[in-house]
Each structure stands twice: as C-alpha cells, then as structure tokens.
Amino acid sequence: MERDIRAKDNPSKYYKRLLLFNEQIISMYLFGVTERDIKTYLERIYTVAVSPELISRVTDAVMEEVKKWQKRLLEKAMPSCILMRSG
C-alpha cells in the first residue's frame, strides 16, 4: 500500500527505476546471462522477488528489435593499420 501511495506522488521517479530495472535485465540477457542467473542476481541486489515470467516478458519485448539489429546490413569498412614509431 505504501509503495502505491509513493508511486502516485512521484510516478516519474518509479517509472525511471522500472526502466533501469528493465535495462539491466536486457543488458545481462544480451551478454548471455541465463534468465535463471538474472533472476538470482536481481533478487540478491534488490532483495525483491522476481518471477521468471517477468524476465521473459522484458526480454521478449525487445527480442524483435534485437533480431532486426542482428540482421541489419553492415556498412562497408576499409581495414587500416597505423604504425607508430617510438623514440
């Protein structure tokens, strides 16, 4: 109840926290951390109960964008080597 009252008083503060929380889940997922390990980490750091369904919803929400990003055409690049002489 107390949390709901605070959220109504300053919704942007709690919205920012939620975004940060989601970004952490997505970041860990993209680095190959398993959903189970993400759950364990978040529960230890924030001392909150996190369901596997929450993690799945967050990762599923961005997977379409991740897939598009992975399939994008890469710009052509010219390899180069810079040699520097010391002394």
Chain segment 52-75, per-residue pLDDT in tens: 888 888 888 878 777 887 888 888
What pLDDT does 19 receive? 76
- Give one DSSP letter per residue of 22-41, joined into a string: HHHHHHHHHTT--HHHHHHH
How wide is the angle at C-alpha 18 spanned by C-alphas 16 and 20, nearest 5°? 70
Average pLDDT, the chain: 78
Taking 50 as the threshold, does the pLDDT of residue 79 lie above it?
yes
Taking 70 as the threshold, does the pLDDT of residue 7 lie above it?
no
Which pTM does this prediction carry? 0.55
Rounded mean pLDDT, 76-87: 79
Comparing 7 with 16, which gets the higher pLDDT? 16
Comparing 21 with 28, which gets the higher pLDDT? 28
Nearest of 8, 81, 80, 66 to residue 32 by alpha carbon: 66
The pair of three-digit structure tokens given for residue 59, joined into one six-digit string:
């990762």
- What is the spatial distance between Cα 12 and Cα 64, in angstroms, rounded to a whole number? 27
